């Protein structure tokens, strides 16, 4: 009697176990596609958000840097990377710049801030910032409200103008804010205005570079129109209003026409010999050389 009962119980348990296994398999088969689609949905949203943030950052905070290509890499339903290939246009010469490898997952989208932040070279005779991948020198802007910088405020115009067969970019920082109309007439026609320096955080730079971002835009041929795009991009880049520098700039200038807005400096490109005309100009507080390239017979400079 007990043997028959035990046998029946074991048989019932086997049936229940088999039933549980079958139900679990069905549930897994149903949930797997749902999980896959859900994962892809959130990953795609983060990817799109990161793509937009990278383009916006380039538009407002990367002086004379252009995006050559931007593609998604290592993509899965859990996340992936976005590879941004960048370069500089130095008076018609394309100069390689660092590539960004930014990451995203379901919840986060992170710009590659490590490569955006320049490296710093110190020695007994030299101090300068450089692009970590290409090792090209990074041009430095000096805010007119910051009185003291760790290696002083450099003016490298005399050195750059002595180079006879090169093109260069130079970050010009003004002694005070000016409107574009006030300053444009002071810039020789032989140089290109490729970026306007509009704002940056005010920080202690006396003990070494604080690594503060600079904000501005490429004026191209229509400064008023590109300024409107710049204002729009600033708002999109900081939608929650957490960036103090951006919000202060927007609040101070939201009711102004571009002709009334002050600029703090500009990035110029041109043949090195043409920078000589700017030597000893009193509106220039600092001049910092960035990327350079040697002129070759088969590529004509823009100016």
pLDDT, tens only, 236-258: 999 999 999 999 999 999 889 99
Residue with tokens 């002709």: 259
Say whether pLDDT at 41 is over 90.
no
Share of the chain above pLDDT 90, in %: 70
In this structure, what token pair is assigned to residue 231? 């204002």
Residues 6 or more apart whose Cβ sits within 8 Å of residue 121: 127, 128, 129, 130
Range 68-92 average pLDDT: 92
Q: How many H helices and E strands in the chain?
A: 6, 12
User: Which is nearest to 49 in space by CA: 115, 103, 112, 113?
Assistant: 103
Partners of 137 in the β-ladder: 130
Confidence at residue 23, expressed as pLDDT on a 0 to 100 scale: 65
In this structure, what token pair is assigned to residue 8? 């029946």
pLDDT, tens only, 6-22: 666 666 666 666 666 66
Which of the four pLDDT bands, split at 50, 70 and 90, describes residue 155? very high
Residue with tokens 């490296």: 119
Range 42-63 average pLDDT: 92
User: In a 3-state reduction of DSSP, which class is residue 43?
Assistant: helix
In this structure, what token pair is assigned to residue 289? 């050389």
Range 183-208 average pLDDT: 93
DSSP conformation letters of 93-137: EEEE-PPEEEEEESS-EE--HHHHSPEEEE-SS-EEEE-TTT-PB
Looking at per-residue pLDDT, the higher value among 17 and 136 belongs to 136
Confidence at residue 280, expressed as pLDDT on a 0 to 100 scale: 87
Q: Contact 276/70 with Cβ under 8 angstroms?
A: no
User: For all residues of the chain together, what is the average pLDDT?
Assistant: 90
User: Which is nearest to 268 in space by CA: 88, 33, 136?
Assistant: 88
Half-sphere exposure of 293 (CA within 13 A, CB side): 21
pLDDT, tens only, 267-303: 999 999 999 999 989 999 999 999 999 999 999 999 9
Looking at per-residue pLDDT, the higher value among 35 and 273 belongs to 273
User: Which is nearest to 130 in space by CA: 115, 110, 113?
Assistant: 115
> How many other CB atoms are found less than 10 A from the CB of residue 145?
10
Which of the four pLDDT bands, split at 50, 70 and 90, describes residue 27? low
Q: Contact 284/158 with Cβ under 8 angstroms?
A: no
Confidence at residue 228, expressed as pLDDT on a 0 to 100 scale: 94
Confidence at residue 37, expressed as pLDDT on a 0 to 100 scale: 64
Share of the chain above pLDDT 70, in %: 86
pTM reported for the whole predicted model: 0.87
**Cα–Cα distance list, 285 to 20, 49, 171, 277 (Å):** 78, 39, 11, 15
Looking at per-residue pLDDT, the higher value among 69 and 15 belongs to 69
Q: Contact 153/285 with Cβ under 8 angstroms?
A: yes
Say whether pLDDT at 101 is over 90.
yes
CA separation for the pair 54, 225 (Å, rounded): 21
Say whether pLDDT at 43 is over 90.
no
Q: Contact 61/214 with Cβ under 8 angstroms?
A: yes
> How many other CB atoms are found less than 10 A from the CB of residue 148?
10
């Amino acid at each position: 009697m007990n043997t028959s009962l035990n046998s029946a119980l074991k048989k019932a348990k086997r049936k229940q176990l088999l039933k549980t296994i079958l139900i679990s398999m069905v549930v897994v088969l149903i949930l797997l596609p749902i999980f896959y689609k859900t994962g892809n949905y959130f990953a795609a949203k983060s990817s799109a958000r990161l793509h937009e943030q990278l383009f916006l950052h380039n538009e407002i905070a990367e002086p004379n840097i252009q995006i050559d290509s931007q593609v998604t890499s290592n993509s899965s339903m859990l996340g992936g990377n976005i590879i941004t290939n960048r370069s500089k246009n130095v008076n018609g010469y394309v100069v390689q710049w660092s590539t960004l490898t930014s990451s995203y997952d379901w919840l986060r989208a992170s710009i590659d801030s490590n490569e955006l932040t320049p490296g710093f070279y110190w020695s007994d005779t030299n101090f300068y910032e450089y692009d970590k991948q290409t090792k090209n020198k990074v041009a430095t802007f000096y805010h007119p409200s910051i009185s003291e910088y760790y290696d002083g405020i450099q003016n490298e115009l005399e050195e750059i103008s002595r180079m006879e067969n090169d093109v260069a970019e130079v970050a010009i920082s003004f002694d005070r804010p000016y409107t574009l109309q006030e300053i444009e007439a002071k810039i020789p026609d032989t140089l290109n205005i490729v970026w306007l320096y509009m704002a940056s955080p005010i920080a202690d730079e006396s003990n070494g570079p604080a690594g503060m971002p600079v904000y501005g835009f490429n004026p191209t041929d229509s400064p008023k129109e590109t300024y409107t795009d710049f204002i729009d991009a600033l708002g999109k880049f900081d939608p929650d209003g957490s960036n103090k520098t951006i919000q202060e700039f927007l609040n101070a200038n939201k009711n102004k026409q571009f002709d009334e807005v002050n600029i703090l400096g500009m990035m110029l490109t041109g043949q090195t010999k043409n920078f000589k005309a700017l030597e000893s100009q009193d509106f220039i507080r600092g001049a910092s050389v960035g990327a350079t390239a040697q002129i070759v017979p088969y590529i004509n400079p823009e100016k």
